[in-house]
Amino acid sequence: MDSMQFINFLFRWGHLLFGITWIGLLYYFNFVQGGYFKQASPEGLSDAKAKLAPSALWWFRWGAMFTFLTGVYLLVVVYDQGVLNDFAIVGATLGTLMFLNVWLIIWPNQKVALGMVAGDGPAAGAKALLASRTNTLLSGPMAFAMLYSSHGGYAEGHLASAGGAGSALWIALAIIALLEINAIAGKQGPMTSVKGVITSSIILTAVLVVVLMYL
């Protein structure tokens, strides 16, 4: 392994660690903290909002930032190596939208919801929750696409350099765009419950895989 390969490996390692931090906290917020907030005593809720949530959100948003930055580097490496494929493009698109949701929707609205800045707390909380639920929805296909891009996506039919990024890719990206529009100005729908968002993520993963592999 030469020095450049080792540097690339370090970025992959960092990308994994930062991603674990980010997505792990995303699941904590959606699967654990939300339920606790509904059941907590007024004193417990106040203490969690004042101490626990801001700390968790710090690690959450910076985990997202460094996952994104290391991901951009790795995407450039994949492109330079000529092995950029449609699964990598879909995974990168999902990851980028999730990153933007964190910094442009979830974090600004959580600051209001937690009383860190002035504003309509309930309305801000609803916006943050919708974006957070959407990120949970997108996390399943994002992880699948990232993994499959390395382990199964190098077949010629999937390589962008070989013309594999055709209509199927555009259909997949259109589906993702509609979901992101909903994250900005839509409703939770089946994502309201934990079971619903997990089921929806699995179904979305299956749909995108079918689109990319068979259309």
Burial of 148 (0-12, 13-18, 19+ CB in 10 A): buried
Q: Can you tell me which residue has the tokens 């619903």?
A: 196
The mean pLDDT of the chain is 93
Q: Cβ contacts of residue 175 below 8 Å, gap of 6+?
A: 204, 207, 208, 211
pLDDT at 167: 87
pLDDT at 157: 54
Cα separation of 125 and 136, whole Å?
A: 16
For CA atoms 194, 17, 56, 182, the dihedral sign is: negative
Alpha carbons within 13 A on the beta-carbon side of 176: 28
Average pLDDT over residues 149-168: 65
Could you read off the pLDDT of 25-51 as tens digits, one per residue?
A: 999 999 999 999 999 999 999 999 999
Range of the domain at 176: 3-214
pLDDT at 158 over 80: no
pLDDT higher than 90, residue 174: yes
pLDDT value of residue 214 = 86
Region 142-171: mean pLDDT is 75
Closest by Cα among 76, 75, 88, 79 to 153: 88
What pLDDT band is residue 64 in, cutting at 50, 70 and 90?
Answer: very high
Q: What DSSP line would sit under 9-54, residue for residue?
A: HHHHHHHHHHHHHHHHHHHHIIIIIHHHHHHS-HHHHHHIIIIIHH
The number of domains in the chain is 1
pLDDT digits (tens, 9 = 90+) for 108-137: 999 999 999 999 999 999 999 999 999 999
Predicted pLDDT of residue 1? 72
